[in-house]
Amino acid sequence: MSEILFASVPVHGHVSPLLPIARHFVQRGDRVTFLTGARFAAAVEATGAEHIALPEAADFDDRTVSSRYPERDGMPAVKAIAFDFEHIFVRPGEYQYTALSALVDIRDVDVVVCDPLFVGAALYAELPLADRVPIVVAGLVPLSYPGPGLAPFGMGLAPMGGLTGRIRNAVLAAGTKRIFRPVNAAADEIATRLLGHELTGPVLDWLPRADAVCQLTVPSFEYPRPDAPASVVFTGPITAAVESHARPDWWADVEQARTVVHVTQGTIANDDPSELILPTIAGLADADVLVVVATGGLPVEALGMLPANVRAAEFLPYDELFAHTDVFVTNGGYGGVQFALSHGVPLVVAPGKEDKVEVAARVAWSGTGVNLRTQRPAAGAIEAAVTRVSTDPRYRRSAERIAGDIAAASGAAGFAATVDRVVADSPADLSSDAVAR
């Protein structure tokens, strides 16, 4: 039995993918503590893990980020990612680190499992190997790891080889370095205060300093990284049993429709349906398809009068729905995209901020869908993309190929095997009072 400390930023899309992993460890007999936002206490405790709230200075409600930082609106994708890293992820890292290192000592922790944007773990990874426990990163966002021909993370660009690619990537790297200078400066300031030295590399590039990275997808959805070490493994998405929402009274229409297009903005970025849901409804109003909308908790009445070929509900029985879905229209949440691909459903992606531009780029690169390259696509652009994806069988074939890879992936057992390996290989003995933090 191991003592495992999970750590996540208080963001729904980061906590949720970790919950079924935590449950797996609890069920096999490990003791699991989960450090994250206060509002996730019930969800964490439902897995059998013990919830520990982040310090107030590192806790926030991700549903209010837009109102908290209105200056984010209208920023280009890379600048928005840089802003988010500095203010939402890096600056709370100081308090994350303090809480994490204290729990490691108090609980006699064997291993830390964290999300990639938990900067407290990036700071903790700077300690000598003999003075810390191993760190396993759960890759719940696109992999930000070095590889040939890769543009800087956040650009949403596919790999480009040869001289042209090297020139492109060098120019972009120079520009990105300038944009991310405040991010790295903030991280170095915190590291100097806590550790006595700056970080050994940019805070965004800390994954190689972790002991293992378990990416929650399959290699066929990620850019090739032939030089990646054996510590980078692909487990496929690890999901809990999908909550069983009741079938709406119009469910027979789904079962009888020739073509079903499902659209949602998820459960967080859904307060403004004019971003994606309403343009999809408008673009497909005259199409010979059934448009099925999940508002994610937004009242259906907020959508206004619906065309005859549209059905909507706040929540739907997702496993059943995707068995009938021909095209999934999404804003690019990593977990939702993996869920669709696990069912072999091709996609149309209108990426929002955060990591979603990278998700959309991988959808296009893998041949599983169309990247609309904007958070607010026009109705006509959505119609054209849906028509393209639903009539060209190559998209469905690519999605089904990845579905097969996901079905064959190691899943929670593979994740646990990686954790067990790094614990067994760890040189750390933190029982001594000599370890200073």
Domains present along the chain, CATH in parentheses: 3-236+409-425 (3.40.50.2000), 251-407 (3.40.50.2000)
Tokens 């729904």 correspond to 12
The separation between the first and the last C-alpha atoms of the chain, rounded to the nearest angstrom, is: 26
The upper half-sphere exposure of residue 429, i.e. CA atoms within 13 Å in the direction of its Cβ, equals: 2
Question: What tokens does 186 get?
Answer: 């903030």
Q: Which two tokens stand for residue 267?
A: 């459960």
Q: What residue type is assigned to position 66 of the chain?
A: S
Q: Which of 51, 39, 37 is nearest to 103 (CA)?
A: 51
Cα separation, 329 vs 314, in Å, equals: 16
DSSP 129: G
Distance between CA atoms of 93 and 123, rounded to whole angstroms? 8
pLDDT at 433 (0 to 100): 44
299, HSE (Cβ side, Cα atoms, 13 Å): 4
Q: Would you state the pLDDT for residue 146?
A: 84
What are residue 7's phi and psi, to 5 degrees?
A: -145, 130
- Cα 392 to Cα 399: distance, rounded to the nearest angstrom: 12
C-alpha 93/C-alpha 85 separation (Å) is: 10
Residue 9 tokens, joined: 């930023």
Burial class of residue 56 (count of CB atoms within 10 Å of its CB; 0-12, 13-18, 19+): exposed
User: 329-363: per-residue pLDDT in tens?
Assistant: 999 999 999 999 999 999 999 997 778 999 999 99
3-state secondary structure of 226: coil
The rounded distance, in Å, linking the Cα atoms of 172 and 273 is 33
Q: Give the pLDDT score at 1.
A: 86
Q: What pLDDT does 436 receive?
A: 39
CB of 432 closer than 8 Å to CB of 108: no
Amino acid in the structure at residue 370: V
- Whose tokens are 């760890």? That residue is 426
The predicted model scores a pTM of: 0.91
Q: Which of 411, 3, 347 is nearest to 215 (CA)?
A: 411
Residues (pLDDT < 70) of the chain are: 65-67, 72, 76-78, 241-244, 267-270, 428-437
